[in-house]
Amino acid sequence: MPEQPIPEQDPVVTKSYALHYVLAMVILMATLFWALWDEALGQRPWKAFQNEWKQRYTAFLDKTQPKSQSEVKGVQTTPEYQQLDQVYEQANAAAKPRKEELQKQITNLSAQILAVQNVFTDRRAYVNALNYQMETDTSASGKASKRKEIDDYKQKPASVEFPDGHKEQYNYAQLEEKYNALKDERTKLNAELGDVLKPVTAASTAMSAYINEHMVDLTPSQLEGLIKKTKEWDPKIVQINVAEANIVDRCESCHMGIREPLKLTAASMSAKGAKKPDEYANAFVSHPEPELLKMHDPDKFGCSPCHQGNGRATTSEEKAHGNYEHWLWPMYPKENAEAGCQTCHSADMVLISGEVGWTISEGKDLFRQKGCMGCHRYEGYDKEPEDLNTVSQQIKQLEQAKKDNIKEAADLMKQADTAASNEEANQLNDKAVALKIANSKMDGRIQQLDFQSHSLLQDTKKVGPNLKDVRLKLNKNWIPVWLKKPTDFRPTTKMPNFRLSDHQIQAISAFIWQSAFTDALPKQKPGNAEHGKELFETRGCLACHSIGEGDQMQGGTFAANLSREGEKANYDYLVRWIHNARQRTRPYCPLEKKDIGPEDYAKKGLPYQWDLEHSQCPNDGHELQVQNMTVMPSLRLPVEDTQDIASFLMTQKHQEPSAYADASYMDDPKLRDEGKKWVRHYGCAGCHEISGFEDEGRIGTELTYEGSKPIERLDFALFTEAAQRGTTEPITDKEDLQRLPDGPAKGPWYDHKGFFEHKLAEPNVYDKGKTKSETEALRMPNLHLNQEQIRALTTFLLGSEENSLPSNYQYKPGDARRDIQDGWWVVKKYNCMGCHQFIPGQKTVLMGLPQYRENPEQLPPKLLTEGARVDPEWLRRFLSNPSLSETDTNRNGVRPYLKVRMPTFSFSANEQRKLVRFFQALSQQAMPYVPEPVPTLTAKETEMARSLFSSTAAPCLKCHATGDPQHDKIATAPNFLLAKERLKPDWAERWVLDPQAISPGTSMPSGLFRRDHGQWVFAGPTPPSFQGYEKDHSKLLVDYIFQLTPEEQRRVAASMGRPQASNRAPTIRKPTTTAASGGSR
Amino acid sequence: MDWKQLWEICSAPDNVPIVGMIPLLIFYCYLAWKQAKANDDLIGELETNPALAKTHHRKSWPFRPGWQKEVHVWPFLLRIEFLATMIVTIILMVWSITLYAPLEEPANPNLTMNPAKAPWYFLGLQEMLVYFDPWIAGVVMPTLIIIGLMIIPYIDTNPLGSGYYTWKQRKFAIGTFLFGFIILWVSMIIIGTFIRGPGWQWFWPGQTWDHNRLIYEVNRDLPDLFGIASNAGKAIFGAIVVGAYYVLGGFGVHAFFRRYNPKDYKRMSLLQYSLMQFFLLTMVALPLKMLLRLGFNIKYVWITPWFNV
């Protein structure tokens, strides 16, 4: 039974629920209001942003206004403005009396018009309505009666009361007439008023135009407009909608300041008194790169194609930025923002615009230079081997088809001989003839393919050296030591650390050693190491190579550091290598897949001779690989110089080569097969040419779309939880920890960035804790990258995404910009930027060396406007042979006075064409180039020009080389005789007028000519023959130079005597800039 | 104990209803039990005291003069129901404001989420897929469940216990319901939510859901244990085992039912009784199969080309 006492009243009937209801009601109402708030604001955080924006931006603009006003005042005090002001005042005063009179008349007329109009429009409406009835009436009598009604109505007079009080009676026609007459009158008066005010308006427009032109910031009226716009802003979603690309980006709903015309910083957008910028201030800044926005109009490109994130989301910052579990395209972190460039610019090797693009360009370059593409396929990288393969396949097919055709033709002929009728015999013969013709067509095609493969073979390069030459090239005992850990021997090497076991090292070295060539090398005389050192430091080796270790290191990182070269290298081979690195020991036939030796040539009775001109295989007649696949060029040094440099390099060592432990096991044939297995396993052939591995495929995964792999497909292995929670940092090795761009993990890093960065810092990190056999363990070696390099590569990989943008968003231009795109691949391939400057602000390796800081005129020329300067055909010739001579090759063709040497890169026809077009396109030159004819000078003009040419005020030949060896030693500028073929005349004229504008820092003086009454006149004294000469003196000089003959030059030089101390610029005006760079031009 | 993992499971918007269901279920079971206890006590008292029976109604309150014997739905029932409506509305509104629908990324046909879980109310069915082949677990069983629920009114011949809580008068009905709903349905949902992790592997609560976890488990079919290799043999063997289960189980239930529930037994027709037997045995078969699978790694008992049990 219930313990409680039984109540008196029935609780079911009497119990009150009032309190329950009140409580429930109150809570329900509260929830209702909560729901309303959530609907209006909670789910729309951008509203808070926009309200905050209105306040802060207005405050910011208010603060800017006085500044702008004072600036305007500054502008207004200038005499030019005062003058404009005066003009305005005068015009105003002159127009005033007539203006006032006209305005009074117009006001008066307007009132009259209004009075007439009121009556007139009312009556017209009535007439129109009646008219419609008449028109639509079906009976003739009805029409007639309506017409009568209209006419009667029109006759009825109407009374118009004018503003001055008097009344007039008008019938309909009169009323209409009066109305039109009044309006005509007003139009006439208005036109007159416009005429009267014209000078006034013009003057005031000129004043505001003057202010606009002379203001750095926005003018007060522009600011006023912004303030008004901001104040009247009604919070709403700001959206970019590009239907064709399916872009819907609402980012600007919070980031209101992105496109504002003023530079907004987080500090300037902070609330008053705030110490640190809050989330609002950070959101309101303007885009850091307005230049980029100009190129990529947000109305076309939106935001998310570059930055990723969820452009449609507006409910929270995490959602909008895509930083939540289920969004597949989270926004790129700030430091990897350039990954977005890759979305459309994957075909560009260099993507630099001002401050932007250096990281992603570095990433692309690293991917190539570090040999990543040796193991990982990536669309567009290292295409040559694939193309070569296709070409070889085609050649094979065509050859087979040819054979079949010959057989069939013979067969047909035989059939024709035994044919029953003449007709049939003719038919069969015709068929046989057709097959023969088909064969000859195929011959043509094969020739084309051979030509292509000639270029492709020349263009194919390997990141690492040719290992077929190890026996000739290396200290045998050094090889295992190197394989153990390359960075121990050479900390900056490209060769990564493979974590090999001792047994693997032995096997690999044995295989490499035993599979290498054993041909004999010519013995070389020892050279002069002292001289070699000087050559090494001055010929430009340091643009790619470095020397010295640690802090002492000098030179470029593009190629090997040579500090311990003496321990590993064989002197005889080194001499050959420096003399011409491309020289192979034996040619390689890609069709037969074997190295061709003298015996193959002997069989065919051919001399054992092969080079780029003799590159046909003696066996199958197709192209041979006749060069080492290295980018190392030939510096065209005489053998003695090469010996000197090699001798110098042989002195670079920490220990004697003989000090290395004996490695005679490398001759053990038993190790050979095992070594072969490991060489294949580790994909050594990705970077090196190895006997038997010439066609080896890549061992790594393709990375073209690595960035869009779902995170679940990236194997964090035992560190999945650690990455998701950010609990432990898996990398424990101190060196590897330092590679992490953001240091050890501080928070969760379960994303692509975290995965890539950890993997690049310590590739086998995800093997940690797992038990794996030798063959299962990760093969990817440690590339010993630094933080910046990892950041760049991560940026590159993050951007490697498959995207849903339409294909026309891809940057694949068909015009000259395409040439620029293609050209960069070649420029970066050969490290041209180690010596030459291509982009303003770009530093070359040589610029950083102390020997050039003192003598900037010894730097290689800048190529900022090379395309505008030189004749493209000349440039092609120059690139194929920079000495510009078949016999005298130990020199620079254009600048013999430079110690640094423009090397012969042995570019293929394909790459020559790409480079030439690149330079032309970079300077916006039209292709093809048709040189403009240079007018022949009369004898008088020649005389005058000569006087300019040899003027003591500007003695051209003092600095420019003349071909006289004595003089050329001190010359600092190219020989004029080259100009005719090399230069474009219009450029040459611009150049003599103002060299500093074209190449800042050049020692060629500016101010040689001055502008005088629309004519360029020589700034120095001119002989009397110039009296009355009306053409430009500069043009005269350039025309003369383009017609200069060697005899003429000798004559002039002789008449001038030998000038001394040519390092000084001529005396007219010293170049004002003292930039630390710039070859002379 | 991995508290973070546990928290992640419990706080997922998908799982909140299940987390809420556990205390609610306990509370309502307790409430029902409490009322049933009071009623059962009263019933016992009334049975021994016929005089009291005249003055008592409404189960637990003794009758007082002046009280109405019956009250109107309006307002006395509806005012409480309306209050309940308001409270439920409040709960739903707060819920919908604070917990967002767990929408996920755009579907990717190349990538299946792991673990891929059904909505919470289907987790029981999904869990059944572990023990039966998809045709049985996904089609036959749900159909049988629905039919079984539909026929309950027709096989329930017990006139007592309508409109009030009682245990004494409906032991069999309530016991069967608790077994079917709580032991089978709810516990399978809880297993599906809290226990099944990546790869649909068994993780105890507080164990980290490690995507790389590997376990060694070999499932066998019952015929294999007896060395039956031929397909026909397997089918016949399975049919015998399953048939034997129904026959033997039927006798067992019969003995049990007659002994402990003679009144109901007497009231039931043969059709009603055999339907009850069939559904009861089928229901009991589920935990038995789970036991075989989880305890003895037996995958299927009856293997035919068309279905597996």
A354-380 pLDDT tens trace = 888 889 999 999 999 999 999 999 999
Q: Are A643 and A628 in contact (CB under 8 A)?
A: no
Whether A33 has its CB under 8 Å from any CB of chain B: the answer is no
A586: enclosing H helix or E strand: strand A583-589
Tell me which of B61, B96, B100 to substitute to probe the interface with A (most A C-beta atoms closer than 10 Å): B61
Q: What letter represents residue A632's amino acid?
A: M
Element housing A495 (H / E): none
> Which chain A residue is nearest to residue B4, measuring alpha carbons?
A725
ipTM of the complex: 0.83
In the structure, what pLDDT confidence band is assigned to residue A588 with cuts at 50, 70 and 90?
Answer: very high
Chain B contacts in chain A segment 546-575 (CB below 8 A) = none
A776 Cβ contact partners less than 8 Å away, ≥ 6 residues apart: none
Of A28, A31, A720, the CB nearest to B212: A720
Q: What is the pLDDT of residue A1079?
A: 39
Touching check for A722 and chain B: CB below 8 Å? Answer: no
% of chain B surpassing 70 pLDDT = 97
Q: Does B4 touch chain A (CB under 8 A)?
A: yes
Does the CB of A394 have a partner CB in chain B at under 8 Å? no
- A831-870 confidence digits (pLDDT tens): 999 999 988 888 899 998 988 888 888 889 989 888 999 9
A328 to chain B: nearest residue by CA?
B105
Could you tell me if B103 lies within 8 Å of chain A, comparing CB atoms? yes
Taking contacts as CB-CB distances below 8 angstroms, the residues of chain A near B60 are 2
Tell me which chain A residue has its CA closest to the CA of residue B105. A326
**Residues of chain B neighbouring A28 (CB-CB closer than 8 A):** 86, 89-90
Q: Is residue B115 a contact partner of residue B198, using CB atoms and an 8 Å limit?
A: yes
Say how far apart CA A420 and CA A286 lie, in whole Å.
91
Is residue A22 less than 8 Å (CB to CB) from chain B? no
Judged by a CB distance cut-off of 8 A, whether residue B106 touches chain A is yes
pLDDT digits (tens, 9 = 90+) for A417-462: 888 888 888 998 899 999 999 999 999 999 999 999 999 999 999 9
What confidence tier does A1057 reach under pLDDT thresholds 50, 70, 90?
A: low
Q: What DSSP character marks residue A243?
A: G
**Cβ contact, residue pair B90, A28, below 8 Å:** yes
Average pLDDT over residues A186-200: 92
The answer to whether A19 contacts chain B (CB < 8 Å) is no
Q: Minimal Cα distance from B210: which residue of A?
A: A721
CB contact under 8 A, B83 and A24: yes
Across the interface, whether the CB atoms of A1 and B105 are under 8 A apart is answered no
Q: How confident is the model at residue A1063 (pLDDT cuts 50, 70, 90)?
A: very low
Q: Give the minimum alpha-carbon distance from A12 to chain B in angstroms, rounded to a whole number.
A: 7
Check if the beta carbon of residue A823 is closer than 8 Å to that of residue A528: no
A1 touches chain B (CB under 8 A): yes
A12 and B CB contact within 8 Å? yes
Q: In B, which residues are within 8 Å of A8 by CB distance?
A: 64
Mind listing the pLDDT tens digit for each residue in A925-978?
A: 887 888 888 888 888 888 888 888 888 777 888 888 887 878 877 788 888 888
A32 touches chain B (CB under 8 A): yes
CB contact under 8 A, B76 and A12: yes
Nearest CB to A717; choose among B79, B105, B212: B212
Check B89 against A25: CB less than 8 A apart.
no
Contact B64 A10 (CB under 8 A): yes
pLDDT exceeds cutoff 50 at B150: yes
Picking from B58, B62, B94, the nearest residue to A31 by CB comes out as B94
CA-only gyration radius of chain B, Å: 25
Comparing alpha-carbon positions, the chain B residue that sits nearest to A38 is: B97
Considering only CB atoms, which chain B residues are within 8 Å of A1? 41-42, 45
User: Is B197 buried (19+), middle (13-18) or exposed (0-12) by CB count in 10 A?
Assistant: buried
Q: CA of B268, closest CA in chain A: separation in Å? A: 34
- B210 CB neighbours in chain A (<8 A) are 720-721
Confidence of residue B63 (pLDDT cuts 50, 70, 90): low
| Cβ-defined contact of B83 to A38 (cutoff 8 Å) | no
What pLDDT shows up at residue A1060?
43
User: What pLDDT band is residue A1078 in, cutting at 50, 70 and 90?
Assistant: very low
| CB-based contact A28 B79, cutoff 8 Å | no
Average confidence score pLDDT of chain B: 89
A725 contact B CB<8A: yes
Residue of B56, B97, B214 to mutate for A, most A C-beta atoms under 10 A: B97
Q: Do B210 and A31 touch (CB under 8 A)?
A: no
**Is A28 in Cβ contact with B89 (below 8 Å)?**
yes
**Each residue's pLDDT tens digit, A240-254:** 999 999 999 999 999
Q: Do B105 and A35 touch (CB under 8 A)?
A: no
Residue A1074, H or E segment? none
Instruction: Check residues A1067 and B147 and name the one with the higher pLDDT.
Output: B147
Q: Is the pLDDT of residue A1064 over 70?
A: no
Q: Where are the alpha helices (DSSP H) in A665-800?
A: 669-681, 720-725, 734-739, 752-761, 787-799
Chain A positions touching B62 (Cβ under 8 A) are 6
Whether A24 sits inside 8 A of B90 (CB atoms) is yes
Confirm or reject contact between A29 and chain B (CB < 8 A): no
Q: pTM value? A: 0.84
Q: Answer whether A38 touches B (CB < 8 Å).
A: yes
A3–chain B Cβ distance below 8 A for any pair: no
The pLDDT of A225-238, averaged and rounded, is 93
Kindly state the tokens that stand for A635.
Answer: 């510096």
What HEC string does chain B produce? CCHHHHHHHHHCCCCHHHHHHHHHHHHHHHHHHHHHHHHHHHHHHHHHCHHHHHHECCCCCECCCCCCCCCCHHHHCHHHHHHHHHHHHHHHHHHHHHCCCCCCCCCCCCCCCCCCCCCHHHHHHHHHCCCCCHHHHHHHHHHHHHHHHHHHHHHCCCCCCCCCCCCHHHHHHHHHHHHHHHHHHHHHHHHHHHHECHHHCECCCCCCCCCCCCCCCCCECHHHHCCCCCHHHHHHHHHHHHHHHHHHHHHHHHHHHHHHCHHHHHHCCHHHHHHHHHHHHHHHHHHHHHHHHHHHCECCCCECCCCEC
- Name, in order, each residue with C-beta under 8 angstroms of A763's C-beta and a sequence gap of 6 or more: A778, A780, A781, A782, A783
Provide the shortest C-alpha distance from residue A714 to chain B (in Å). 12
Give A1070's pLDDT tier (boundaries 50, 70, 90).
Answer: very low
Q: Which residue has the tokens 């109310």?
A: B121
Interface test with A, best of B3, B42, B56, B67 (most A CBs within 10 A): B67
Please, which residues 293-332 of chain A have a Cβ atom closer than 8 Å to chain B?
326-328
Q: What H or E segment, with its residue span, contains residue A255?
A: none
pLDDT given for residue B56 in this prediction: 64
For residue range A704-745, list pLDDT tens digits in order: 999 988 888 899 989 998 999 988 899 999 999 999 999 998
Q: Residue A102: which residues within 8 A CB-CB, separation 6 or more?
A: A189, A192, A193, A196
Q: Is the pLDDT of residue A43 over 70?
A: yes
Check CB contact of A1000 with chain B, cutoff 8 Å: no
Axis-axis angle for helices A45-76, A172-214 (nearest 10) = 80
Asked if B105 lies within 8 A of A326 by C-beta distance, the reply is: yes
Quick check: A472 pLDDT over 60? yes
Nearest beta carbon to residue B97 from set A21, A35, A725: A35
In order of A551, A947, B62, the CA distances from A900 in angstroms are: 24, 34, 116
